[in-house]
C-alpha cells in the first residue's frame, strides 16, 4: 500500500482476495447404508469465498478525510501476500446540515418526506445503557444524547435509539427526525445496581449476628480470626451478571446488524458507566468467565463490522460529586479520607465491658460477639502490620522472663501521658522501679 497517501482519504473498496486460497475444504456428510441397498454417494457441500470487502477510511494527520484517491493508491496484503483488487469505489458521504430556526437554533424538521433522493448519509445507533447508568445521572445522559442529535445529525443521516434493557416502548428505529429520536431519549431512566462493595457491606451488617466466631479475636491467640472472616458475597451477583450479559449481548447484536450495512460511515454511541462486574474474581462471581467471553465476542463483532464505537460516561460529563458512599448512615464524599481510630474503638462499651478501667484479666475470657475490627492494634487489610506475630511472641516472652523475677512500679512523680503516632506511645517513656521478687 502506498503509505504516504494512506495518511488521508475516504474510500470504501471491495477486493478479490485470492479465491483459490480462500476456498475451504468441502464438507462431506456421511450417509448410513442399510444392508442390501445401493450405496448412496456422499453428499458434498462446497463453499467458496469469491471476494472480501474491505472498508478503508483515510484521514490526514489533522483527522480530515482525504478525498480523490484511486485504486492505484491502495495495495492489499493477506498474510504478507499481495491480493488482486478487482473492484474499487469511493464512498463520499456528504454531511448535509439541518436547517435551523433563526430564533432558538433548534433544527427545522420538514414535515413532508420523499424517497426521490436515495439515502446517502451516516448511520448512528445511540445505545443508552440503562443497566449501567445510575438513576441520578439519567439527566446527564439525556442531555448529552440530545446535544448529539441537535448538533451532529445531518439532514441525510439516520439514527436509532436503543435501550440496553430492551425497552421497546422507549426505543426508536432508524429515522432522521430529531423529534422522534429526542422523544425516545427522554424516556431514558438509569437503573444501575448499587455498587458491589456497598451491597456486601450491608450484607455484612445484616448477617453479623448469624456468623459464628471460629476462634478468639481478642488478641490472645495472635490470630485475630473470627467468624467475620467468612466470605461475604454480593447478594446481587446474579442480577449484576444478567445486566452485564444483556448489555454485551445487545452490543454484539447491534454490531452484527451494522456489519450487514455496506459502504456507509456507521457508529455506535454508547452511553454507559461501564460494565459493572468483577471479572477477575472468578471464584465468587459465577458469571465472570461468561462475561469475559461475551466481551470478546462483542469486540470481535464490532471490529468485523467496521463500526466505530464511541463511549460516553455520564459521570465524566460533570464531575463525580454525586458518587458518594454511605457508611453506617454517614455520607462519605468521594476523595475524602476515612480514619478508623483504634483509641476510640478500643474504648467502645459495646465491645469492651467497663472500657475505661485497666482490667488485663478481660483478655483471659473470650468475647465471641466482638467483631473483627473492634480490636485492631496492628491495623488491618492490605497494610496490616507484618510484625504482628513476632510482636505477640516477643511481648509474651519478655513479660514472662521479666515478670518471673521482677516487679515493676512507676517511678514516683513520673508523668504518664500518651503520644498518638501510628501506634499510641508513652510521651515521656515509662520510668519504672524494678524490685526483685522474693
Indicate the residue among 183 and 340 with the shorter CB distance to ligand HEM: 340
x/- contact string, 323-362, with ligand HEM (CB under 6 A)?
----------------------------------------
| Bridging pattern class, strands 27-29 and 43-45 | antiparallel
> Which residues make beta-bridge pairs with 425?
419
Indicate the residue among 152 and 392 with the shorter CB distance to ligand HEM: 392
* 391 in contact with ligand HEM (CB under 6 A): yes
Do the beta carbons of residue 70 and residue 95 sit within 8 Å? no
Indicate the residue among 147 and 327 with the shorter CB distance to ligand HEM: 327
Interface with ligand HEM by CB under 6 A: which range of 48-56, 228-236, 287-295, 379-387? 379-387
Q: From 220, 266, 265, 274, select the one nearest 247 (Cα to Cα).
A: 274
* Strand locations in 256-372 (E): 266-271, 308-312, 325-327, 330-332
* 397 in contact with ligand HEM (CB under 6 A): no
Quick one: cell of 205?
A: 451488617
> What is the distance between the alpha carbons of residues 171 and 155, in angstroms, rounded to a whole number?
21
Side-chain half-sphere of 258: how many Cα atoms within 13 Å? 32
> What is the distance between the alpha carbons of residues 135 and 165, in angstroms, rounded to a whole number?
14
CB of 144 to ligand HEM, least distance (A): 41
x/- contact string, 238-257, with ligand HEM (CB under 6 A)?
--------------------
Tell which one of 108, 384, 399, 416 touches ligand HEM (CB under 6 A). Answer: 384
> Which residues make beta-bridge pairs with 78?
81
CB of 377 to ligand HEM, least distance (A): 5
Tell which one of 3, 113, 383, 437 touches ligand HEM (CB under 6 A). Answer: 383
DSSP state letter for 116 = S
Q: From 180, 178, 182, select the one nearest 101 (Cα to Cα).
A: 178
Residue nearest to ligand HEM (CB): 387
Interface with ligand HEM by CB under 6 A: which range of 83-91, 188-196, 361-369, 385-393? 385-393
Tell which one of 166, 390, 410, 419 touches ligand HEM (CB under 6 A). Answer: 390
* 379 in contact with ligand HEM (CB under 6 A): yes
Indicate the residue among 70 and 423 with the shorter CB distance to ligand HEM: 423
Tell which one of 116, 349, 386, 421 touches ligand HEM (CB under 6 A). Answer: 386
- Tell me how many degrees the CA angle 267-268-274 measures, rounded to the nearest 5: 145
CB of 348 to ligand HEM, least distance (A): 18
Side-chain half-sphere of 391: how many Cα atoms within 13 Å? 10
Q: From 202, 197, 220, 198, select the one nearest 370 (Cα to Cα).
A: 220
- Tell me how many degrees the CA angle 192-193-194 measures, rounded to the nearest 5: 120
Cell 465476542, residue?
297
> What is the distance between the alpha carbons of residues 311 and 314, in angstroms, rounded to a whole number?
10
Tell which one of 24, 41, 387, 412 touches ligand HEM (CB under 6 A). Answer: 387
Interface with ligand HEM by CB under 6 A: which range of 52-60, 248-256, 345-353, 382-390? 382-390
CB of 394 to ligand HEM, least distance (A): 7
> What is the distance between the alpha carbons of residues 250 and 271, in angstroms, rounded to a whole number?
13
x/- contact string, 416-435, with ligand HEM (CB under 6 A)?
------xx------------
> What is the distance between the alpha carbons of residues 241 and 119, in angstroms, rounded to a whole number?
40
CB of 422 to ligand HEM, least distance (A): 5
Residue list 306-325, contact with ligand HEM (CB under 6 A): none
Indicate the residue among 395 and 415 with the shorter CB distance to ligand HEM: 395
Interface with ligand HEM by CB under 6 A: which range of 21-29, 161-169, 310-318, 387-395? 387-395
Q: Would you tell me how many other CB atoms lie within 10 Å of the CB of residue 144?
A: 18
Applying CB under 6 A, the residues found at the interface with ligand HEM are 377-380, 383-387, 390-391, 422-423
Amino acid at each position: 500500500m502506498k503509505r504516504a497517501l494512506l495518511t488521508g482519504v475516504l474510500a470504501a473498496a471491495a477486493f478479490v482476495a485470492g479465491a483459490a486460497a480462500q476456498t475451504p475444504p468441502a464438507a462431506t456428510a456421511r450417509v448410513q447404508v442399510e444392508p442390501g441397498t445401493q450405496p448412496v454417494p456422499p453428499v458434498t457441500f462446497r463453499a467458496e469465498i469469491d471476494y472480501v470487502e474491505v472498508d478503508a477510511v483515510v484521514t490526514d494527520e489533522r483527522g480530515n478525510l482525504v478525498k480523490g484517491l484511486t485504486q492505484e493508491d491502495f495495495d492489499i496484503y493477506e498474510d504478507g501476500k499481495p491480493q488482486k483488487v478487482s473492484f474499487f469505489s469511493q464512498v463520499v458521504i456528504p454531511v448535509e446540515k439541518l436547517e435551523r430556526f433563526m430564533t432558538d437554533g433548534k433544527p427545522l424538521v420538514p414535515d413532508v418526506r420523499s424517497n426521490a433522493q436515495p439515502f446517502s448519509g451516516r448511520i448512528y445507533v445511540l445505545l443508552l445503557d440503562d443497566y449501567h447508568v445510575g438513576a441520578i445521572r439519567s439527566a446527564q445522559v439525556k442531555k448529552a444524547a440530545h446535544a448529539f442529535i441537535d448538533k451532529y445529525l445531518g439532514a441525510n443521516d439516520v439514527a436509532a435509539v436503543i435501550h440496553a434493557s430492551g425497552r421497546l416502548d422507549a426505543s426508536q428505529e432508524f429515522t432522521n427526525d430529531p423529534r422522534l429520536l429526542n422523544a425516545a431519549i427522554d424516556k431514558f431512566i438509569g437503573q444501575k445496581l448499587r455498587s458491589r462493595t456497598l451491597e456486601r457491606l450491608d450484607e455484612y451488617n445484616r448477617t453479623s449476628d448469624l456468623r459464628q466466631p471460629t476462634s478468639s479475636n481478642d488478641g490472645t491467640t495472635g490470630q485475630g480470626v473470627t467468624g467475620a472472616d467468612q466470605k461475604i458475597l454480593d447478594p446481587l451477583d446474579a442480577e449484576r451478571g444478567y445486566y452485564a450479559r444483556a448489555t454485551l449481548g445487545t452490543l454484539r447484536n447491534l454490531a452484527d446488524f451494522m456489519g450487514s450495512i455496506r459502504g456507509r460511515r456507521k457508529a455506535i454511541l454508547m452511553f454507559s458507566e461501564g460494565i459493572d462486574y468483577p471479572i477477575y474474581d472468578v471464584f465468587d462471581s459465577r458469571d465472570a468467565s461468561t462475561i469475559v467471553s461475551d466481551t470478546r465476542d462483542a469486540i470481535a463483532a464490532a471490529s468485523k463490522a467496521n463500526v466505530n464505537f464511541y463511549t460516553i460516561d455520564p459521570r465524566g460529563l460533570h464531575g463525580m460529586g454525586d458518587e458518594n458512599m454511605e457508611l453506617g448512615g454517614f455520607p462519605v464524599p468521594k476523595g475524602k479520607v476515612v480514619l478508623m481510630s483504634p483509641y476510640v474503638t478500643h474504648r467502645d462499651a459495646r465491645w469492651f465491658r467497663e472500657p475505661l478501667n485497666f482490667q488485663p484479666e478481660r483478655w483471659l475470657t473470650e468475647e465471641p460477639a466482638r467483631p473483627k475490627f473492634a480490636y485492631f492494634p496492628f491495623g488491618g487489610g492490605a497494610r496490616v502490620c507484618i510484625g504482628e506475630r513476632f510482636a505477640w511472641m516477643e511481648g509474651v516472652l519478655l513479660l514472662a522472663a521479666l515478670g518471673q523475677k521482677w516487679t515493676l512500679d512507676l517511678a514516683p512523680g513520673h508523668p504518664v501521658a500518651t503520644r498518638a503516632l501510628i501506634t499510641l506511645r508513652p510521651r515521656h517513656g515509662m520510668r519504672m522501679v524494678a524490685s526483685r521478687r522474693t
